[in-house]
Structure 1
Amino acid sequence: MRTSINRILLGLTGLLLLALGAAVLIGSLDLQRRWDFTMPSSWPFSGPKDVLLSAHDRTRYRSRGWWWPTVIAALGVLFLGALWWLLAQARTRRLRQLRIDSGDGQGAQIRGRAVENVLSAESEAYDGVEWAGSTLIRKRRVPQARLVLGLAPHATPVEVVDGLDTEVLERARTSTGLDALPAEARLRAVRHRASRVT
């Protein structure tokens, strides 16, 4: 869920909370009087004794039967939404460990980061690839590789993808004992700065 929309929502939420915190801080510390500056007339706090809601506003609906269930339900939905959002930030499909067949019937665990480093290094060593990055994720309970490749100007994308599949990914499948290692490759052209020839 770490998309640009998510980052925008997190940024807007942070700005809103920062503005609210600044308003409370300026009012509660009476900074307007201490530092001799004025705030707009619509500013909610002008001094340490000001409140956001007046006593009338706070107690206006208390006698109604729907008030407290509505407040509790709204706070519960807000809490559950915030908790879900927090857990979504922490959840990742990145493969931390990979179980491989060691040939002795026991099996072994290998770090996903180690496989990613090998995939990146071998991809960079392939002709036509200037830089590479890789990530192992778990998709539908099957490991999958995601590669980002920076192609050299002379490289042909089809040849690079075919070569990586038959050489680099095949070695990864063999060494990890996986029947299949699906891969998604994103290709990017490497732009070199023009240099003047004299």
Structure 2
Amino acid sequence: MKSVASKALARSYGAERTLTSIVGLLALAGGVVVLVVGQGWLGTFRAQRPVLDPIAVDWLGREPVLAKVAAIVLGVVLLVFGLWWFFRSLRPEGRPDLELDRTPGQELTVTAAAISGAVRADAEAVEGVSRARVRAVGDASSPALRMEISLREGADLKTVWHELDARVLTRARESLGVDTLPTAVRIDLDASTKQRVK
């Protein structure tokens, strides 16, 4: 089962994986059909016939205009679909704005930048954290966070992690009114504190 936190690790490519899986299954099914027919499991007569059915070839010869129109339409549809999929894959990752109150006249929306800024400020207030970068990702129905935490030299990693989990992330969940807030945390030593070996 996919963990909840894994939603925050990287951009979701569920649609791309689904399309790839469907194309792969169709190709596999086509290959199995060709193998079954070629081996003569559906009869030796069918196995000895050409790949392009003579009846279909004769029909295409009698209806060249219709065949060309169908080929052009299919080509245009595939081109449009390919371009749409290409630009869809390149679009920027969503940054969710959460609507906390939808009551007419009292609407309250928290922007992704505000979420990131508030969590970053809380994270940088933790003892031992020198710098934090936070990004709200996902969508309004299932927001997630990505955090990059830089530690000062000598910071206690266990204490920092406990503070992030117990205080920073708990406060973020409570403020946003969500039960779960998938979060990917990357922790490293602040480069500014590293000393050059002489």
Q: For this structure pair, what is the TM-score category when the shorter chain's length is used for normalisation?
A: 0.5 to 0.7
Contact 2:98 2:111 in 1 (8 A): yes
| Cα distance change on mapping 1:151 and 1:168 into 2, 3 Å | same
| Structure 2 counterparts to residues 65-84 of structure 1, below 5 A | 65=64, 69-84=70-85
Q: 1:180 to 1:150 in 2, by over 3 A?
A: same
Match of 1:58 in 2: none
Would you say 1:129 and 2:137 are equivalent positions? no
The reply to whether residue 148 of structure 1 matches residue 148 of structure 2 is: yes
Structure 1 range deviating more: 177-186 or 143-152? 177-186
1:117 deviates by 0.7
- The answer on whether the counterparts of 1:143 and 1:181 sit within 8 Å (CA) in structure 2 is yes
Secondary structure in structure 1 of the residue aligned to 2:113: helix
- Contact 1:101–1:176 under 8 Å retained in 2: no
Higher helix share: 2
* More relative contact order, 1 or 2 (CA 8 Å, 6+ apart): 2
Q: Tell me which residue corresponds to 2:46.
A: none
Q: Which residue in the other structure is 1:52 paired with?
A: none
> Are the aligned partners of 1:146 and 1:183 in contact in 2 as well (CA < 8 Å)?
yes
Give the Å deviation of 1:141: 2.5
**TM-fit CA distance, 1:119:** 0.9
Asked if 2 retains the 8 angstrom alpha-carbon contact of 1:173 and 1:180, the reply is yes
Are the structure 2 counterparts of residues 130 and 93 from structure 1 closer, same or farther at C-alpha, using a change threshold of 3 Å? Answer: same
SS in 1 for 2:167: helix
Residue 87 of structure 1 aligns with which residue? 88
Query: Would the aligned equivalents of 1:2 and 1:89 in 2 still touch at CA under 8 Å?
Result: no
User: Any conservation in 1 of the 2:11–2:93 contact (CA below 8 Å)?
Assistant: no
1:94 maps to a residue whose letter is: R
Match of 1:170 in 2: 170
Contact 2:98 2:140 survives alignment (8 Å): no
Q: Distance in 1 between matches of 2:152 and 2:123?
A: 13
Q: CA deviation at 1:125?
A: 2.2
Task: Please give the TM-score of this superposition, normalised by the length of structure 1.
Answer: 0.54
- Give TM-score scaled by structure 2 length: 0.54
Per-residue deviation, residues 48-78 of structure 1 (Å, max 9, x unmatched): xxxxxxxxxxxxxxxx935554454334312
CA spacing shift, 1:139–1:162, aligned 2, 3 Å: farther
Q: Please tell me whether the aligned partners of residues 130 and 150 of structure 1 are also in contact (alpha carbons under 8 angstroms).
A: yes
Aligned match of 2:99: 99
- Once the two structures are TM-superposed, the CA of residue 116 in structure 1 deviates from its matched residue by 0.5
Q: Secondary structure at the match of 2:87?
A: helix
